[in-house]
Amino acid sequence: MATRIPVECPLCHVDIKGGQTLENHLVAMHTKQTLAKFVVTETDMLSEEDVSE
């Protein structure tokens, strides 16, 4: 029987367990501003990687 590795929140690094989804965790535990900052940071990092290649 295969076991699933718990999904980890990319913001707070908590393992998502007990039937909770990552989406539900993000909505319940993180502000819109925190989520927006994370998306902007990730997008900036991806853009920098594309330019340097």
Q: Flag whether 46 is in a domain.
A: yes
Number of domains within the chain: 1
Residue whose structure tokens are 């998502």? 16
Q: Flag whether 29 is in a domain.
A: yes
Average pLDDT, the chain: 89
Q: pLDDT by residue (tens digit) across 16-26? A: 988 899 999 99
Confidence of residue 50 (pLDDT cuts 50, 70, 90): low
**Is a pLDDT exceeding 90 seen at residue 2?**
no
Q: Whole-model pTM above 0.85?
A: no
| Token couple for 18 | 């007990």
Q: What pLDDT score does 5 carry?
A: 81
Q: Which residues contact 6 (CB under 8 A, 6 or more apart)?
A: 15, 16, 17
Q: Flag whether 1 is in a domain.
A: no
> What is the span of the domain harbouring residue 26?
7-52
